[in-house]
Structure 1
Amino acid sequence: MNRRKMMRGGLALFAGSLLARPAVAAPFASRRIAVTTRGAGRDVVLIAGLASGPGLWNGVIGAISGYRWHLVHVRGFAGLAADANASGPVVQPVADEIARYIGAAGLRRPAVIGHSMGGTLAMLLGLKGLASRLMVVDMLPEGAAMIGGTASGMGFLADQLGDYFTGTRAGRAYLAQILAEMPGARGSDPDVIANALRDLANVDLGPQLPRLTAPMEVVYAVGADAAQAGAITRTFRAAYAPKRDVRLLPIGPSGHMVMADQPARFNAALSNFLKAV
């Protein structure tokens, strides 16, 4: 065999060996979200709320082992550049991107936990049939109901507030002050916050709750005042009544950041929830 034939045969073998190797998945890239993973075990998706980043879950990850945590960071929140979230709707496009991540990462119906706006996103993923179990933390199906309103009544006000927060110097300064006082919210983009608030004020997932087939637990915060706690409980029970077999769990005394105000009780609740995964 001459040298040319030997080289040709060697190249063919080399090319064949490359083609025979399994394909390596490209890293997930998104202009809406960034996702990091920590730990090892069964897959759990964690979604923080409005203006918050993955740091919200540090106490959870440090206390509960045996899971691979997928931490979703919405672009424009907590120091991450806004990118595609800088204008237009935020909530539904972000839900769609988390769904794309679940598919790209090869996750098979992971448990999904979401706090506040993250709870809305978790329910949207549940409606896509992508979650084995859902935990919603201190969020109602109708976003406007969190401040005593309705989607039909709060939509216009949300638009006005969004214009104030982003279109005036005083509004931007006031929003910056609010974000500076929120744990983990520093560096959030005012435009993304305003757009997300508009979305949340107009969303009402209540009528779609019967379509949620995955088991669901709702953890909600109550204060020390018994009368107020009773009123909050009645609100959550009524809001989630359309969801069959939903489990409601009050934790208090606590503010909105349940995992920070009552870490031991929240971690115990989450651990019990995940044991059923």
Structure 2
Amino acid sequence: MIRTASTALFGAAALLLAAAPAQAQDGHVNHAAHGAQHAAFTSDRLSVVVDGPEGAPDLVLIPGLSSSPAVWQGTVDHLNGRYRVHRIHVAGFAGAAAQANAQGDTPQPVGAPVAEEIARYIREQHLNRPAVVGHSMGGTMGMMLAARHPDLVGRLMVVDMIPFMGAMFGAPGATAESVTPVADQIWTAQSTSPREAYIAQATPAINGMINTESRREEALQDMRGSDQKVSAAAFRELVTTDLRPELGRITAPTEVLYVKFNDARMTDAITDAIYQTSFATLPGARLKRIDDSA
């Protein structure tokens, strides 16, 4: 069967962004049952789940596209109260009402305004230069935060994301402008697809990116519980956002973790080269490939 261009792009989008974090996708939980609480912070872009004792070092965890804060539960459990953990829940993702992230016929940014709200949260909650960890879209928001508010971030970890994802959708030398038509096609395909078709197309892509079968359903639940237009607009924004010129503003020590692709064509050497080239303008960044991710 021959797929249309929009269908192929739709699948590529799901493959790049809907997978579990490297060593981080841990499942849905009842936050209250684990001792978590919601932060006293009012925002129409996000909410925050807080775990750990007051006075402990602060750690901000930002999940990926269409994901819930629950993806980090295993990480929180592993830390065992050694950190005050602040997990971000983006409005419109994984059951949260879209609020200010709601979309009309023309896509509006999601990640950039959420990153600004995270900066406001850090300031208003008096977090002391927290470590920030972001997966996928969360990695993009982490880079935005660290580059645009370097005084707020103590350390940065980016998981499974490069500073210009649009490079994966264009010819060598692609720019944000040159990949905008592709991003617009993805937005149209995802935002207007009938709900059943949207879920049917995303499901095999998500399953193919999560090696541990028992962890797939959580990611699928998050996808099904997310606002379709918010996810589509967020993806379009990621494709057209080039943070490479901003990386030099990041002063926080930075580590980048990335997975080995489940694609024989993407050799270790090719994968390493993509990340090394992408982060070349961030001196001192430590890059590490994870070959046995979940």
Alignment TM-score, normalising by the size of structure 2:
0.73
Query: For 1:57-206, what aligned pairs fall within 5 Å after superposition?
Result: 57-65=72-80, 66-87=82-103, 88-127=108-147, 128-129=149-150, 130-146=152-168, 150=174, 151-169=176-194, 172-178=195-201, 182=206, 183=219, 184-206=222-244
5 Å-filtered alignment, 1:222-261, equals 222-223=260-261, 228-254=267-293, 261=294
Query: Per-residue deviation at 1:153?
Result: 2.9
Q: CA RMSD in A?
A: 2.0
How far apart are residue 134 of structure 1 and its match? 0.2
Percent identical pairs in the alignment equals 43
Rounded to whole Å, the distance in 2 between the matches of 1:102 and 1:178 is 37
- SS of the residue corresponding to residue 248 of structure 1 reads strand
Write the mapping of 1:15-94 to structure 2, written as runs, cut at 5 A.
27-40=40-53, 41-65=56-80, 66-87=82-103, 88-94=108-114
Q: Secondary structure of the equivalent of 1:185?
A: helix
* Structure 2 unmatched runs, 5+: 1-38, 207-218
Q: Tell which structure's C-alpha radius of gyration is larger.
A: 1
Please give the per-residue CA displacement for 1:124-155, whole angstroms capped at 9, x wherever unaligned. 11011120000000100002235566433321
Q: Residues 29-49 of structure 1, C-alpha deviation per residue, up to 9 Å, x if partnerless? A: 111001010112210000000
| Partner Cα distance (1:69, 1:157) in 2 | 37
- 1:78 and 1:249 map into 2 onto residues whose CA distance is 29
Letter in 2 for 1:203: T
Look up the equivalent residue of 2:161 and give its one-letter code: M
Q: Deviations over 1:188-222 (max 9, x none)?
A: 00010111011101101111111111110000101
Aligned-pair distance for 1:238?
0.8
CA contact (8 A) 1:49 1:118 kept: yes
Q: Deviations over 1:214-272 (max 9, x none)?
A: 11000010147697111000110011111111100110134xxxxxx0xxxxxxxxxxx
TM-score (norm 1): 0.77
Q: Which amino acid aligns with 1:97?
A: E
Quote the Cα distance in structure 2 between the aligned partners of 1:168 and 1:139: 26
Shift in Å at residue 177 of structure 1?
2.8
Give the counterpart letter for 2:226 in structure 1: S
Structure 1 residue 70 displacement after superposition: 0.1
Unpaired runs of 5+ residues, structure 1, are 1-25, 255-260, 262-277
Deviation sequence 1:1-20 (CA, Å, 0-9, x none): xxxxxxxxxxxxxxxxxxxx
In the alignment, residue 29 of structure 1 is paired with which amino acid?
A: T
